[in-house]
Amino acid sequence: MSNDSTGSAPSPSASTGDGDGRFLLKLYVAGRGTRAEAAIANLRRLCENELLGQYELEIIDVLERPDLAEEARILATPTLIKQLPPPLRRVIGDLSDKEKLLLGLEVRRAGPENPPTPKT
């Protein structure tokens, strides 16, 4: 995990935060356990396949940076926060449900063409 101020995963196109429609994502994890690794892998896969370089991803280990976790009011890990584009959204869990994650990030909206996936 990164301790620097950016902590960003390499991305072809970093968000400038100027409202250009790119995604600024922060993933809060606790250490390098299986849930954290699964969340990181699932999110990176989704970003590469769905966001097509239009994102900046920061991975924050709450064990290394508890101040950032407290500031963001993280109560459980893994937690993903989409800061840009507005509105801010939070998704908690290992991010394995792709459709739920896309809806949560508002990449895809629920509707007749994209109904929510029923739990089995």
Tell me, yes or no, whether 118 lies in a domain. Answer: no
Tell me, yes or no, whether 60 lies in a domain. Answer: yes
Tell me, yes or no, whether 110 lies in a domain. Answer: no
pTM to 2 decimal places: 0.74
Question: For residues 120 and 118, what is the distance between their CA atoms, to the nearest angstrom?
Answer: 6
Tell me, yes or no, whether 72 lies in a domain. Answer: yes
pLDDT in the model for residue 21: 75
pLDDT in the model for residue 13: 35
Give the Cα-Cα-Cα angle 75, 95, 69 (nearest 5 degrees): 25
Tell me, yes or no, whether 59 lies in a domain. Answer: yes
Residue in the structure block whose two tokens are 């429609």: 21
Question: For residues 56 and 101, what is the distance between their CA atoms, to the nearest angstrom?
Answer: 16
Question: For residues 109 and 93, what is the distance between their CA atoms, to the nearest angstrom?
Answer: 20
Tell me, yes or no, whether 116 lies in a domain. Answer: no
Tell me, yes or no, whether 76 lies in a domain. Answer: yes
pLDDT in the model for residue 110: 55
Count up the domains in the chain and report the number: 1
Question: For residues 68 and 38, what is the distance between their CA atoms, to the nearest angstrom?
Answer: 21
pLDDT in the model for residue 111: 52
CATH at 65: 3.40.30.10
Q: Residue 23's closest CA among 63, 75, 81, 96?
A: 81
Q: Residue 60's closest CA among 40, 75, 41, 83?
A: 40
Q: Per residue of the chain (120 residues), give pLDDT as tens.
A: 443 333 334 333 333 344 567 999 999 999 999 999 999 999 999 999 999 889 999 999 999 999 999 999 999 999 999 999 999 999 999 999 999 999 988 886 555 554 554 444
Range of the domain at 86: 8-104
Tell me, yes or no, whether 88 lies in a domain. Answer: yes
